[in-house]
Amino acid sequence: MYRLIKPIFFQFEPEKVHHFVVRRLKWFHEYFPMGSRILRSCYGVNISGLEKEVFGIRFPNPVGLAAGFDKNGEYIEALSDLGFGFIEVGTVTPLPQPGNDKPRMFRLPADSALINRMGFNNKGVDTLAERLRLLKSRNKRIVVGGNIGKNKNTPNEDATSDYIKCFDALFDVVDYFVVNVSSPNTPGLRALQEKAPLMELLHTLQQRNHKNGISRPILLKIAPDLTHEQLDDIVEIVLQTRIAGVIATNTTIDRNGLYSSPKLKEETGGLSGKPLTQRSTEVIRYLSEKSGKAFPIIGVGGIHSAKDARDKLAAGASLVQIYTGFIYEGPGLVREICKGLSD
C-alpha cells in the first residue's frame, strides 16, 4: 500500500507531509475502533529471539526510531504500534525554539536521501517531560530515549548548563540519554565534539548522573565526518568518562557522489539516507575495533533494508535506528528488518 501512497506524499513539502501523517497515525491509534490492534497486526513485530539487553535495558527488538522524527514525544504510543523496539525523542532544548526558517527539509529521490536544517525546533524540555510523565503512568513497556541539546542562542561556553537542565528535567521519565553535539544545523554545536569541551561536558553529566545512587545510560551521538584521529579521541573520551556508549552516526555535511541536481545538493543542512550507509558502517567498525568492543554502539545512517541493518550489526553495532529509510521504504521496514535478523 505504501508504494501506492508514497508518490502522492512526495508531491508535497516534506515537513507538511510529516505532520499530516503522524497526526493521522495518532488519531487512528487513539480514536479508530481497534486502531491500535489493526496497526500492530499489520506492522507490529512478534518474533521470538530478538530481545536484547544493552547497557542494562531490555529491548524487545533491536530496531529503534532515531531522534528527530518525534521531537516532542507526541506520537510515541502510535509509533510503537509499528513495531519499533525503542523510540528516541528530541532533540530537545531547555527553552522552546522555532528552529530555522522554512523550507528546511528537502527530499533527494535520486539518492534516496534527505537534507534537513531543522535547527532543533521543539516545544522545550518541560513540555516533553510532562508528556513523558503521562506516558509512563499509562504504559511502562515502551523504551524511550531522550536526545538532549542546547538552545541556539546559548554560547558554547554555557552549553553544559543547557544539557544539565534537560538531563535533570527528563531523568525520571526516559530510559536512556543521548548527548547531541553533532548536528550541523545549530551554529558552532559541532565544536563541542572537540576533546576538551566534550570531556568536560560528559564528566559533568556523569557526576550528575550518579549523585543520588541512581543512574541512566548516557550515550554520545557523533558525526560521520570525524577523522580517524577524532574518532580515536571519542574512544578515549567514552572510556575515561565511562558513559554507556555511542550513537554512530548523525547526518553528514558531505555531498560527494550524489546524483541529485546541483540545486538540491547545494542546500545547507545534514544529509541522511542511502549516501550515508557505507560511511556510518565504517565509523561503527572503526569504533568497535579501536575500542576492542569496549562499549555498545547504536548504528544509524542509511538503513533501508534488512541487509543494511545486518551490516551495521556485523560491524559492531548492538542496536540500530532508522529515520530516512522509514520515510522512503514505509512503515513495513521495521518488520522487514526484524524478520531479516531472525532468519
DSSP 3-state of 122: strand
Name 145's bridge partners.
88, 176
How far, in whole angstroms, is CA 125 from its chain's centroid? 17
DSSP 146-168: EEE---TTS-GGGHHHHHHHHHH
Cα distance between residue 73 and residue 41, in whole Å = 23
Cα distance between residue 99 and residue 118, in whole Å = 6
Active-site residues, by number, are 183
At 295, list the grid cell: 562499549
Q: How many helices (H) and strands (E) does the chain have?
A: 13, 13
Cα distance between residue 143 and residue 35, in whole Å = 21
Cα distance between residue 216 and residue 214, in whole Å = 7
At 67, list the grid cell: 531522534
Cα distance between residue 131 and residue 89, in whole Å = 11
Q: Which residue carries 501523517 as its cell?
A: 21
**Beta-strand pair 57-59/52-54:** antiparallel
- Whether the CB-CB separation of 269 and 250 falls below 8 Å is answered with no
